[in-house]
Amino acid sequence: MASMRPRISVEYGKNSTIITFTDEKILEEKDIQVLGESIMSVIEQAERINLILDFSKVRFLSSAVLGLLIRVSKRVYECDGQLRLCNIDPKIHEIFKITRLNRIFDICEGVEDAAESMAPAD
């Protein structure tokens, strides 16, 4: 059985761009690479981006995804943008706490909370 590539959906809100991960599992290295390319493509299309990453459907992810999130964060901030993560499964959130990534990332309860926490894009 062939591995399916992780998919995302992109929604452009009033003050932010919302990327929702549509797969329950994000585990394979090649899939994470494709996912990274997709996210970076969205970031590069904007001059300054307020990006929300919605994990509502994700139940499992590999540690390589954490590295991807750090690269995404770096790129967003280089573009003078803002990044929020939201709807993170409690088990995954525990990994963020253990690795202290919860101190690096702004993690919000839901998409609405994430959008409200962002300063308006110029």
Give mean pLDDT, residues 89-111. 96
> SS3 of 105, please?
coil
In this predicted structure, the answer to whether residue 76 has a pLDDT above a threshold of 50 is: yes
Give the position of tokens 């499992």.
60
pLDDT at position 1? 39
- Averaged over 89-104, what is the pLDDT? 96
Average pLDDT over residues 46-50: 91
CA distances from 74 to 7, 23, 70, 80, 93 (A): 22, 24, 6, 10, 20
Per domain, the residue ranges of the chain are 8-116
Instruction: Tell me phi and psi for residue 104, to 5 degrees.
Output: -90, -40
81 with 51: CB under 8 angstroms? Answer: yes
**Residue 5 banded pLDDT, cuts 50, 70, 90:** low
pTM: 0.92
For the domain covering 8-116, report its CATH number. 3.30.750.24
Look at residue 51 and tell me whether its pLDDT is greater than 60. yes
**What does the mean pLDDT of the chain come to?**
92
